[in-house]
Structure 1
């Protein structure tokens, strides 16, 4: 029995070492942008160990990289916000347009990559890097509905596995719950930064999904509030903030947002009350802002 176990263990170690070699080779060729050898490595790897989780992430990286095509754009008007560009001037030195780059995505390669990572997620549902990788790509191609659906799926699954997440090479993610929730906050900010008011509904869906499983998550209560305050639904916006205040009465960001909500609503008395609470618990920047607002409201 000991000899058989020893043979099995040896076989496992050998198989793991081979998989590591494929992974290292692929990463090397990926860094070198050598797509021919990337594909060759992936093909050999798949024959050797078709269910290796790192194979799925590597295929995903390969296809996503292949799908990207950068093109030069010359256009009139203003360039997209936040993107690098070169200004163009007319003969009089007046602004005439810009030159910039634009990334397009080949749908065929993109689909192959998304199919591979979806297959990997189905086989290894605790691999958070796979889930986040898919969400990242959906954000890059601005498929916000699929982006949102994938986030909600992951939130729902976090209640199934109790945030017992793993990462690359199946390494266990420490502080899984905190890491998971903080990452979700980054996705909410990503949606907000688009400046597209239509995506406030996506933010609301994500916030509500988080609160279904984590009702005391103050950041999600604040995010939910924002989706209402920005659309003029002030009472609905203030309500989740008051819940957040009960959870942490000294959270000055929450107190400041409540004050802002009441100010927008036109309730000066309640706004001043919460600006004064901000003076009590806020940092210096928050206190300075709160004092300015109180002075303005008392004029």
Structure 2
């Protein structure tokens, strides 16, 4: 029995060392953008240890990077990033020459298939889930971006945020850091400036509140999605829930005041700006003071 146990330990250690070697080699070729040797390492790695978690993340990185294509295009609109202005014979702007990014759908699918398999085998690997979400954001697939975030939130309740990271290292962030990451994804949606994505923000925030009912940031996010569309009462309703959780949260208090101001309820706006002044930091106090001076004219 002891002999068998010792053999198993030796085999396990050998496989771990082998995987780390493949991982290191892959990273070197990945940094060098050497796709030929990347694939050679991945195929060799797969033949030796086909269920290695790091193999799935490496395959994912390989296919996602390979799918990214950059082409030079002529457009009538100024491109994002570097570009050249083209002038006509009268020195008028005729167009722009710049780089455009697109993604090869076949290679993308291969990458997502790999990371999906990795998540299936290792559901507690948060780096896999966040990596997939990041890639979906890069290709602006906001529907699946949102779905993947929601699935991750749902699983966080199953594993009590006992996540692991690269090489199965323990993720020490716990619930707090996890929710901060989810908040950053909602900000990413907001920063697109696309009002159609407000419903995506709301869906994520509602899912967070389903499992973390005292998450003030999500209540605030919901309020923003309503305030931006002129649904002031719904926005205020969400903020009032947040202030019940923490009556001294001056950011929430300031947002309530602003919402009432938008609605045209001067009395309530003054009430909440006064509370903002009472509990706020120096910057919040100065802002509340300015707003109160305007409202009391």
Normalised TM-score (structure 2): 0.96
What CA deviation, in whole Å up to 9, does each residue of 1:199-256 have, x standing for no partner?
A: 0000000000000000000110000110101011101001111111111111111111
For 2:147 and 2:140, how far apart are their aligned partners in 1? 13
Task: Check whether the contact 1:85–1:98 (CA below 8 A) recurs between aligned residues.
Answer: no
Q: How does 1:188-267 map to 2 (within 5 A)?
A: 188-267=186-265
Greater Cα offset, 277-286 or 198-207: 277-286
Is the counterpart of residue 153 in structure 1 residue 146 in structure 2?
no
Aligned mate of 1:85, from 59, 82, 87 = 82
Map 1:77-116 → 2, pairs under 5 A: 77-79=77-79, 83-86=80-83, 88=85, 90=87, 97-116=95-114
5 Å-filtered alignment, 1:24-103, equals 24-79=24-79, 83-86=80-83, 88=85, 90=87, 97-103=95-101
Unaligned runs of at least 5 residues, structure 1:
none
* Contact map agreement 1:87 1:95 (CA 8 A) in 2: no
**Aligned-pair distance for 1:101?**
1.9
Question: Shift of residue 293 of structure 1?
Answer: 1.3
- Corresponding residue for 1:8? 8
Shift, 1:77, TM fit:
3.3
1:269 aligns with 2:267: yes
Unpaired stretches in structure 2, ≥5 consecutive residues: none
Contact 2:83–2:99 (Cα < 8 Å) also in 1: no
- Distance (whole Å) between structure 1 residues aligned to residue 90 and residue 269 of structure 2: 52
Cα 1:290–1:95 change in 2 (3 A) is farther
Q: Which runs of 4+ in 1 moved over 6 A?
A: none
Tell me, what secondary structure is at the counterpart of 1:295? helix
User: Does the 8 Å CA contact 1:234/1:261 hold for their aligned counterparts?
Assistant: yes
Q: CA deviation at 1:97?
A: 4.3
Q: How far apart are residue 284 of structure 1 and its match?
A: 2.2
Q: Distance in 2 between matches of 1:113 and 1:66?
A: 9
Moved more, 281-290 or 270-279: 281-290
Shift of 1:190: 0.6
C-alpha distance in structure 1 between counterparts of 2:92 and 2:251, whole Å: 44
Q: Using the alignment, how far apart are the partners of 1:285 and 1:135 within structure 2?
A: 35
- How many residues align? The count is 296
Secondary structure of residue in 2 paired with 1:216: coil
Q: Distance in 1 between matches of 2:138 and 2:208?
A: 23
